[in-house]
Amino acid sequence: MTNQNQPLYLQIRTFLRNKIETGELKPGDQIPVEAELAQQFNVSRITIKSALKMLVDEGLVYRTAGRGTFVSDPQRPAALEPAGPDNYRKIGLIGPMTSDSYTLGLLRSIEDQCKEQNLIMLFRSAVTQSEEKEAIRILRSQGVEGLIIFPADGEAYSQAILDLKTEGFPFVLIDRYLPGIKTNAVVSDNFQGGYLGTEYLVNKGHRQIGIVSGTKSKTASSEDRFSGYLEAARKTGLKIEPLHWLTRIDEISYHEEQPTRDMIRDWLNGQQELTAVFAFGSAMAVYVAEIAVQLGKRVPEDLAILSFDTPNIRDFQGLYFSRIEQQEERIGVSAVELLLQVIADPSIIERIVIPVSLVEGRST
């Protein structure tokens, strides 16, 4: 292809540049999409992105959000990327303003991908469905072409989101979806996570496993994690004991630290036989660890703790948490790409499910 001593991204850049300079790729021609190039050269999409970015910087190609990468016309400098922010397309992002590493990583990934696609991202925070409704109204009034929404918790479906679907306004849900409603969404495989975590604890010899979760009926992600736990329990012969479940930590108490701690303390005191706890949220995992130590338990000798997501306090008293890891960067990139596809073709309905993995730490 080119000088084999060069890094791969430089080889690909040179290969494409030669096609442009020889006229094989003419002004206005579309460069093959990243996935196609990655397959052609047997490299990652990150490598392709690096090669294309160099061509953009050299003025040989330009990108149009939602359409792709095209060969520039040297006689028409205006064909290059938009020169000012007024020409950039706008999308909206709605989600919680929290400090947990998963959500922060997810929001950062979306922001980075918007920059990559030359999009202006307008963000509005929302924790409740009423805040979500207002955020949707404001962002639409500001002229966004589509929305990425981290749905607020609620016993019923968000009417504001249902209205978007009825109107045909482009949007993509992240982290969770609406069961029974066909909407575009990018989510982790929460069922797989619940299954993997439970199977792992059973294989470690635990038979008295506690589950700590937000109210199951409020989010599809919690329901899917719990369903994964139940399926793993069925397949491994683990006895189902509802007293071992603390699944009523709702959104209000979860964001008020003391009520959540009190609830967990009372529950642990009443379940002395537990040898392991699978917490469906990273903050809850930290609370369980702190309270267990206060109650005189050793982690993991007396109580093993598995977290869904990576706690901000990765090292608690010399203890790195075992955890189910989500691919928040991949979720963010996929959400932006899917939204651009939906804006271009509103008939698209797709749910993208991203695999999770189990990372063993010292808390189990």
CA distances from 350 to 341, 345, 346, 358 (A): 10, 12, 11, 26
Q: Could you tell me the two tokens for 251?
A: 């959104």
From the options 3.30.300.20, 1.10.10.10, 3.40.630.30, 3.40.50.10420, give the CATH code of 8-79: 1.10.10.10
Q: Which fold has domain 190-325?
A: Rossmann fold (3.40.50)
Dihedral of CA 294/295/301/306: which sign? Answer: negative
Specify whether the CB–CB gap between 339 and 175 falls below 8 A. no
Confidence of residue 21 (pLDDT cuts 50, 70, 90): confident
Q: Could you tell me the two tokens for 273?
A: 């036989």
Instruction: Specify the pLDDT at position 214.
Output: 79
- What are the sequence ranges of the domains in the chain? 8-79, 86-188+328-355, 190-325
Rounded Cα distance between 30 and 335, Å, is 23
What tens digit of pLDDT does each residue of 58-104 get?
788 888 766 788 898 765 543 334 444 445 789 999 998 776 788 88
Helix axis angle, 34-41 to 8-21, nearest 10°: 110
Please tell me the pTM assigned to this model.
0.74
What tens digit of pLDDT does each residue of 146-169 get?
999 999 887 678 899 999 999 999
Q: Where in 229-317 does DSSP place strands (E)?
A: 245-249, 276-279, 304-308
Specify whether the CB–CB gap between 145 and 343 falls below 8 A. yes
* Long-range CB pairs of 249-253, under 8 A, 24+ apart, other chains included: 249/212, 249/213, 249/214, 249/215, 249/284, 250/153, 250/214, 250/215, 250/218, 251/127, 251/128, 251/152, 251/153, 251/214, 251/218
Q: DSSP character for 128?
A: S
Dihedral of CA 178/180/186/191: which sign? Answer: positive
pLDDT over 70 at 256, yes or no: no
User: Nearest CA to 121 among 146, 84, 151?
Assistant: 146
Question: If you average pLDDT over every residue of the chain, what do you get?
Answer: 87
294 burial level (CB within 10 Å; 0-12, 13-18, 19+): exposed
| Residue indicated by tokens 């189910």 | 324
Rounded Cα distance between 8 and 11, Å, is 5
Highest-scoring range by mean pLDDT, 89-93, 203-207, 279-283, 347-351 = 203-207
Rounded Cα distance between 355 and 130, Å, is 31
Run of H or E including 231: helix 220-236
User: CATH class for domain 86-188+328-355?
Assistant: alpha beta
Q: How many other CB atoms are found less than 10 A from the CB of residue 133?
A: 18
Q: Which residues contact 103 (CB under 8 A, 6 or more apart)?
A: 95, 96, 150, 328
Instruction: Specify the pLDDT at position 186.
Output: 98
Specify whether the CB–CB gap between 139 and 92 falls below 8 A. yes
Specify whether the CB–CB gap between 352 and 186 falls below 8 A. yes
Q: Can 86-188+328-355 and 190-325 be said to share one CATH topology?
A: yes
Q: Could you tell me the two tokens for 293?
A: 């130590």
Rounded Cα distance between 363 and 303, Å, is 8
